[in-house]
Amino acid sequence: MKAVKIDGLTKRFGDTIALDNINPEIDEGEIYGLLGPNGAGKSTAINIICGLLKSDRGNVFVLGKNIRKEPDFTKRNIGVVPQDLAIYEDLTAYENVGFFASLYGLKGENLKQNIEMALKFVGLDDKSGEKPKKFSSGMKRRLNIACAIAHRPKLIIMDEPTVGIDPQSRNHILESVKKLNKMGSTIIYTSHYMEEVEAICTKIAIMDHGKIIAEGTKEELKSIITNTNTILVTVGSAADIDENKLKQINGVKNIIVNENVVKIIGMRDVNNLDKIILYFTGNHIPIKNLETQTPDLETVFLTLTGRKLRD
Amino acid sequence: MMRIFRIMFKEIKENLTDKKTMLMMVLFPIVLILILGFAFSNEFSQSYPTSDIQLIYTDSGSKEMSEGFQNFMKNCDDMGIKIKEAESTDKGINDIKNAKYTGYILVKDNIITLYKNDKNFIDTNIIESLLKTFIDRFNSISVIARNNPSIMGKIVSDENYDFTRVVSLDKEKQPSSMDYYSVTMLTLIILYGAMGGIFSIGEERTRKTGDRMLCSPVKKYEILTGKLLGQSFSILIQSVIVFLFSKFILGANWGTDLPTVFAVVLSGIIFSVSIGICLGFIIKNNNAAMGVINSIIPFIAFLGGSYFPISEVGSDVLSKLSNISPIRWTNNSIFQVVFAKNYGDVPMALAINLTCAAVFIAISAMAFKKEAF
């Protein structure tokens, strides 16, 4: 049985097609990544699966049940970590988790045990009596997760759970996702950070403009772009770099500048390294490091769409 | 059902932990009671002028009844109550409806019917008390006449029977300024409880906790009911604190029938919370919704006599306009129960509050059905 099966899902907002006939299938036990830039349709898809939005066309099946026909069953088995924090600042961490867990039918000793389990899992068991208004943003994000997992859902949907937090908390969250998966939950993980998706997802769908443009394991996706290679140039300062001039070099397909690292994606069979180096030296841009990189998902996205993930 | 209670308890907990708002909702009315109660203490004087009471009558009673009624009218005149004959029964009833007179007494055979105008409940209370005493005496005489006619002479010859000695105005039953403002400030702060309803919906939207709730198996009607009950209970707690303070510290008179008074208060709470919840759903912006409620409340509070009795203004237009204010019915019914033991306005107050609440809840349910928070 598939954890999630989506048939021809379509959603419009006025003239904008937010989802255009998508048909992903997610096996039980997977960590399924939805990768795409802002506005790709990831959150719309998630909101429809959760029951917050109604689709215009298509069906969604969670654990074999249609979410429209059996909303109680499907909702009981889904836990949602929303992109925005959804916690009560004036209730303690314990009360927050307890309230949301109780809405899933948990009560008595069972409720108490599940609250403690959830708080311990996210590392907030020693803060259970405190209110989130005193927490750091990372701790709030962890509480956000605890509220979603206390009722032990079979499907956990995490919508960009690491936005705006420190690296330590991010790593903690990524480790938690893997642990939850090992404990038996299927996870849908949306993000526009390809390194997160690459690190934890067993299967990835790349979305853009409401469509799934590629789907598969990270190796399968990277094999789409076997005809490209990537050169990483670390420079002293990227302020003087003219991307258009660099693109004019024969064989260069795309440029991504991230702080002082210039990623040059080019055709594998065109030897242009000398011309690339000449550009930097000729424009008095000191090169601190130069290396070739194996293709990553950002490169895949760029190749497929011509745009950056974080545009 | 359990989910409704969970949501209700969550609402109560959130409200009680918001110490700033809790304090404001309790201190605000107490301070106003003190300020207005002392400032207007002379306006609620202990001696009551009866010269403003005007009665009309039609006497088609039996000979014995008419004789007794003449004596009654003479006593009214002695008290300063103006009494004159109505042109006709229909005109008399119409004049009462138009608030031209305090009451119209129709004496027909041996039946006395009083048509009253409740513009001033104290005036009508006086008339009713006088009339009741007259009727009791008349009935007593009739019984004696049937059973022991021989002593009738001594009783009937007492043509100057003075009803005013029987009905002494119980000065303790007139509201002092503290009594008046204890009631009106309590009902005013209940009205401001609508803000709690607005925030209850708006904050779920802003914090996205509403969406998280909707991702669970909880139904929308459970959320709506839980919020209504939770907010209502929170305001009830605040009301009880204000009530206890006014009764035991300020010595305000709340009468002896507290269950009826609190039934009316509770209906007012449900009314105000339902307005707030309705506005919270319809107007997506909290500040805009607050602006609407802050512009409505002073108007209906003024018409409801929250700041001073509307009848004292002496304007028929305002008196008629005050009928559109739900709080007017709430205040009046409480005053009547406390000071006149008159339950006439209680059903109307309950009906208005609960019907309006039902309408607002229905609108909220329709707005909620269409979309998430």
For B309-337, what is each residue's pLDDT tens digit? Answer: 877 666 777 777 888 888 999 999 999 89
H/E element holding B301?
helix B286-303
B217 touches chain A (CB under 8 A): yes
Check whether B147 has a pLDDT greater than 60: no
Please give the angle made by the CA atoms of B217, B220 and B223, to the nearest 5 degrees: 90
- Taking only the tens place, the pLDDT of each residue in B77-124 is 877 888 899 999 889 888 888 878 888 888 887 788 888 876 676 777
> A-B interface: how many C-beta pairs under 8 angstroms?
62
> Superfamily for A2-221?
P-loop containing nucleotide triphosphate hydrolases (3.40.50.300)
* Contact residues on chain B for A100, CB-CB shorter than 8 A: 212-213, 216
Q: Which of B131, B119, B132 is nearest to B52 (CA)?
A: B119
Q: Tell me how many helices (H) and strands (E) chain B has.
A: 16, 4
Q: Which of A72, A42, A45, A41 is nearest to A60 (CA)?
A: A45
Average pLDDT over residues B241-255: 93
Chain A residue at shortest CA distance from B373: A52
* Contact residues on chain B for A107, CB-CB shorter than 8 A: 2
| Answer CATH for A223-305 from 3.10.290.10, 3.40.50.150, 3.50.50.100, 3.30.70.980 | 3.30.70.980
Q: Which residues of A, range 87-146, sit inside 8 Å of B by Cβ?
A: 87-91, 95, 99-100, 102-105, 107
Tokens 């059903």, located at residue: B347
What pLDDT shows up at residue B230? Answer: 96
Sketch the domain layout of chain A as residue ranges.
Answer: 2-221, 223-305
Nearest to A91 among B3, B14, B214 (CB): B14
Mean pLDDT, all residues of chain B: 84
Confidence of residue B161 (pLDDT cuts 50, 70, 90): very low
Average pLDDT over residues B46-75: 78
Hey, are the CB atoms on A103 and B211 less than 8 Å from each other? no
* % of chain A at pLDDT higher than 70: 98
CA dist A299 and A252 (Å) reads 13
Max mean pLDDT range (A132-136, A219-223, A263-267, B156-160): A132-136
Confidence of residue B371 (pLDDT cuts 50, 70, 90): low
Cα distances from B118 to residues A276, B124, B193, in angstroms, run 96, 7, 28
Residue ranges of domains in chain B, CATH in brackets: 2-43+175-370 (no CATH), 54-168 (3.40.50)
Question: Which of A43, A49, A102, A140 to mutate to probe the B interface, most B CBs <10 Å?
Answer: A102
Count the Cβ atoms, other than its own, within 10 Å of residue B151: 11
What pLDDT shows up at residue B170? Answer: 46
Is there a common fold for A2-221 and A223-305?
Answer: no
Please give the angle made by the CA atoms of B103, B108 and B112, to the nearest 5 degrees: 45
Cα distances from B305 to residues B142, B308, B366, in angstroms, run 44, 5, 33
- Taking only the tens place, the pLDDT of each residue in B201-237 is 999 999 999 999 999 999 999 999 999 999 999 999 9
Confidence of residue B164 (pLDDT cuts 50, 70, 90): very low
Hey, are the CB atoms on B212 and A91 less than 8 Å from each other? no
On whether the pTM is more than 0.80, the answer is no
H/E element holding B143?
helix B121-147
Cβ–Cβ < 8 Å for A31, B351: no
